[in-house]
């Protein structure tokens, strides 16, 4: 029998044996007689309706006298019940060698901590459903020949023949969920994610779908609702050259995927040894786990101990969810270590769990675990990569005043700008440009990011309760922009820290130095930055002489609106201002530290 997610019987199958051949098929193919033609080639004389009806009645009568069994793995009274092997996907429950051969494999894996952790996570997947925990993906990314497939096969060896249990990612998007529904609560394995051809958007959809139960509701012929044909809750082990989390901007994906980066093996000889042991003994772990009958409550206690004592996971956020998955993996490793009598296997998994948790936490912190953090990082990257697109308000106003307006800009650098009296913003981003920055950073839902930053005080809104953008006074006009704090890194190296860094003179490049003659124009440009105060004042006054050398009147001063003349100007950091009539402007320059 196959059960719906609510526990209702939604499908019945029967196992038929004829002349040494057997087939487990749904009852409807018995009713229409197609089973005799397709599954039993030696059958003859079954085309007549009377014969088909007679055979169906015989099958129904014999099936009614047999005990009903499940067609998928199911937890009953805190025990895992497995179906007949012929209804499981190929390879599961297949065995080779003896128990001691499987133990030898586990002992060898104890010297490869990341594989030990992967095996523990694979075992823990069986307890996800009875504990109502979040399903997750264990992805092993990295370059070729780095032990990814070997690690997946070692984990699959717990369940059966790894060469059949580990399947390729070359499948349709609907193929993976339907395959997982047959497993119900057993761990699935897929190799080489790149073969799926899934882009970030479709892959994100697939990850969400399978970690939410792999269910698929449909409409029946009468237009009514038809429930999903089963569900799956557990762990999916995946390999590939590409990362999953690194291609997604959604922190929900990060909380559902545990990425254990390669290399998985410590050396080539170690990988060869594991491959040899895989051929000699596999498939004995699943039966041993079922016979051990560790209850979900006991396993949950092990996982909680691992979270609090072994891994010490954070108190919140996606990193905590990842830590909970890893603590399940440590509990799974503990179960294998106990069954095989290899305590060092558990120690290896704990060490790897700590390393992986630290790595993933650092990666999430760098890219921003929250949507608002990722948006701030994207703005900071945009400002650093194209500083010309981020002038100060003064630079923008002066360029417009002298007839050279800046056209292609994204916003304004507000560092040390007294725009707000109650905050120190870093940047004002033009609204239409913010959408481009978010899209280039892979942030699909800008509203969520802005809402996050508003709640945390990093987005300074208009204060009217309606608009997150606000007017920014620039060059005599109010420009609509989003004003952000927290764009720049909070920790800036101190001069003492920088003094400890090696300088260019401390390195020997291995190349002979080459001296190039400086041209006259270059030298003049360099010399222009090293002039006296008198020369600076003279340069400023030259701005107000026409071609004949006569004095001319320039545009009004931006601070006092009075006309500028040669006798009234000075230059401060490249900006022409009044000497006497513009003390307010000079004070502003002092305030802005320019």
pLDDT tens readout for residues 150-173: 999 999 999 999 999 999 999 987
The full set of domains in the chain, from first to last, is 2-71 (no CATH), 99-217+226-367 (3.40.50), 371-492 (no CATH), 520-592 (no CATH)
Mark residue 293 as left, alpha or beta (left: phi above 0; alpha: psi -120 to 50; beta: remaining).
left
Q: Which pLDDT band, with edges at 50, 70 and 90, does 465 fall under?
A: low
Task: Give the residues across from 188 on adjacent strands.
Answer: 236
Residues 6+ apart with CB under 8 A from 132: none
Contacts 24+ apart (CB under 8 A), 363-370: 363/245, 363/246, 364/251, 364/254, 364/318, 364/319, 367/246, 369/251, 369/254, 369/317, 369/318, 369/319, 370/251, 370/317, 370/452
Scan for tokens 């067609």, then name that residue: 71
The structure tokens listed for 166 are 């580990």
Cβ proximity of 100 and 288 under 8 Å: no
pLDDT score of 491 more than 50: no
pLDDT score of 484 more than 90: yes
Instruction: Report the length, in residues, of the chain.
Output: 594
Q: What is the mean pLDDT of the chain?
A: 81
Beta strand 235-240 with 136-141 is parallel
pLDDT score of 486 more than 80: yes
**Which SS3 state, helix, strand or coil, does residue 320 take?**
helix
Residue among 120, 153, 158 at smallest CA distance from 333: 120
The structure tokens listed for 200 are 């970030």
Q: How many other CB atoms are found less than 10 A from the CB of residue 290?
A: 16
Reported pTM: 0.71
412-435: average pLDDT: 91
d(CA 556, CA 353): 66
Position with higher pLDDT, 350 vs 405: 350
pLDDT score of 417 more than 60: yes
324-353: average pLDDT: 98
Tell me what pLDDT residue 371 has: 82
560-587: average pLDDT: 48
Q: Of the segments 103-117, 456-470, 490-504, 578-592, which one has the largest average pLDDT value?
A: 103-117
Tell me what pLDDT residue 84 has: 85
66-83: average pLDDT: 88
Tell me what pLDDT residue 6 has: 58
Q: How many other CB atoms are found less than 10 A from the CB of residue 249?
A: 21
86-96: average pLDDT: 91
Lowest mean pLDDT among 29-38, 75-84, 196-205, 476-485: 29-38
Tell me what pLDDT residue 368 has: 66
Q: Which pLDDT band, with edges at 50, 70 and 90, does 531 fall under?
A: very low
Scan for tokens 């190799």, then name that residue: 191
> Which strand (E) or helix (H) includes residue 140?
strand 136-141
Cβ proximity of 266 and 364 under 8 Å: no
Tell me what pLDDT residue 324 has: 98
Mark residue 230 as left, alpha or beta (left: phi above 0; alpha: psi -120 to 50; beta: remaining).
left
The alpha carbon of residue 546 and the mean position of all alpha carbons in its chain are separated, in whole angstroms, by 62
pLDDT score of 511 more than 70: no
pLDDT score of 249 more than 90: no
First to last CA, the chain: 78
Q: Please report the DSSP string for 38-87 in residue order.
A: HH-TT--S--SHHHHHHHHHHHHHHHHTSPP--SS-EEETTEEE---GGG
Tell me what pLDDT residue 10 has: 63
Q: Please report the DSSP string for 202-248 in residue order.
A: HHHHHHHHHHTT----EE-TTS-EE--S----SEEEEEESS-SGGG-
Q: Which pLDDT band, with edges at 50, 70 and 90, does 529 fall under?
A: very low
pLDDT score of 356 more than 90: yes
pLDDT score of 138 more than 80: yes
pLDDT tens for residues 551-570? 444 445 544 555 555 445 54
Q: Which pLDDT band, with edges at 50, 70 and 90, does 64 fall under?
A: confident
- 3-state SS of the chain: helix, strand, coil percent to 5? 45, 15, 40
Tell me what pLDDT residue 1 has: 54
pLDDT tens for residues 272-301? 999 999 999 999 999 999 999 999 999 999
Q: What percent of the chain has pLDDT over 90?
A: 51
Q: Which pLDDT band, with edges at 50, 70 and 90, does 85 fall under?
A: confident
Tell me what pLDDT residue 287 has: 96
pLDDT score of 11 more than 90: no
d(CA 112, CA 117): 9
pLDDT score of 232 more than 80: yes
> Which strand (E) or helix (H) includes residue 569?
strand 569-572
124-145: average pLDDT: 96
pLDDT score of 192 more than 90: yes
pLDDT score of 382 more than 80: yes
């Amino acid at each position: 029998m196959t059960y719906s997610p609510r526990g209702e019987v939604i499908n019945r199958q029967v196992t038929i044996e004829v002349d040494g051949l057997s087939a487990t098929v749904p009852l409807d193919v018995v009713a229409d007689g197609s089973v005799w033609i397709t599954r039993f080639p030696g059958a003859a004389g079954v085309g007549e309706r009377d014969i088909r009806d007679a055979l169906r009645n015989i099958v129904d009568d014999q099936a009614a006298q047999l005990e009903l069994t499940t067609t998928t793995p199911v937890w009953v009274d805190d025990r895992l019940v497995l179906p007949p092997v012929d209804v499981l996907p190929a390879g599961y429950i297949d065995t080779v060698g003896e128990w001691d051969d499987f133990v030898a494999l586990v002992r060898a894996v104890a010297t490869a901590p990341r594989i030990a952790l992967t095996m523990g996570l694979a075992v823990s997947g069986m307890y996800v459903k009875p504990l109502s925990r979040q399903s997750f993906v264990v992805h092993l990314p990295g370059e070729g020949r780095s032990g990814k497939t070997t690690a997946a096969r070692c984990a699959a060896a717990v369940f059966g023949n790894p060469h059949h249990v580990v399947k390729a990612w070359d499948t349709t998007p609907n193929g993976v969920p339907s395959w997982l529904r047959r497993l119900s609560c057993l761990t699935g394995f897929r190799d080489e994610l790149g073969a799926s051809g899934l882009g970030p958007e479709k892959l994100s959809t697939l990850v969400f779908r399978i970690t939410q139960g792999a269910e698929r509701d449909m409409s029946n012929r009468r237009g009514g609702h038809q429930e999903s044909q089963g569900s799956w809750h557990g762990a999916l082990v995946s390999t590939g050259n590409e990362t999953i989390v690194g291609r997604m901007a959604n922190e929900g994906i990060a909380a559902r995927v545990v990425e254990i980066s390669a290399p998985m093996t410590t050396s080539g000889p170690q990988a060869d040894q594991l491959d040899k042991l895989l051929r000699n003994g596999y498939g004995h772990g699943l039966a041993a786990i079922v016979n051990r009958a560790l209850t979900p409550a006991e396993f949950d206690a092990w996982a909680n101990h691992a979270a609090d004592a072994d891994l010490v996971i954070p108190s919140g956020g996606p990193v905590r969810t990842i830590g909970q998955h890893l603590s399940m993996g440590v509990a799974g490793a503990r179960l294998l270590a106990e069954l095989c009598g290899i305590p060092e296997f558990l120690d290896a998994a704990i060490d790897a769990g700590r390393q992986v948790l630290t790595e993933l936490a650092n990666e999430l912190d760098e890219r921003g675990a929250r949507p608002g953090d990722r948006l701030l990082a994207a703005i900071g990257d945009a400002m650093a990569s194209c500083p010309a697109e981020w002038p100060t308000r003064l630079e923008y106003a002066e360029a417009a005043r002298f007839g050279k307006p800046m056209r292609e800009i994204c916003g304004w650098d507000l560092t040390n700008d007294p725009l707000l009296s109650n905050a120190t913003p870093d940047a004002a981003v033009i609204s239409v440009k913010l959408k481009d920055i978010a899209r280039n950073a892979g942030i699909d839902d800008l509203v969520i990011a802005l809402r996050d930053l508003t709640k945390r005080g990093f987005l300074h809104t208009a204060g009217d309760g309606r608009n997150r953008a606000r007017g920014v006074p620039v060059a005599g006009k109010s420009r609509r922009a989003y004003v952000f704090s927290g764009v720049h890194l909070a920790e800036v190296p101190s001069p003492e820290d920088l003094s400890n860094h090696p300088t260019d003179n401390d390195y020997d490049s291995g190349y002979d130095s080459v001296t190039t003659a400086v041209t006259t124009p270059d030298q003049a440009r360099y010399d222009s930055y090293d002039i006296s105060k008198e020369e600076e004042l003279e340069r400023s006054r030259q701005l107000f002489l026409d071609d004949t050398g006569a004095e001319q009147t320039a545009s009004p001063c931006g601070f006092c609106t009075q006309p500028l003349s040669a006798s009234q100007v000075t230059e401060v950091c490249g900006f022409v201002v009044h000497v006497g009539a513009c003390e307010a402007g000079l004070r502003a320059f002092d305030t802005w530290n320019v």
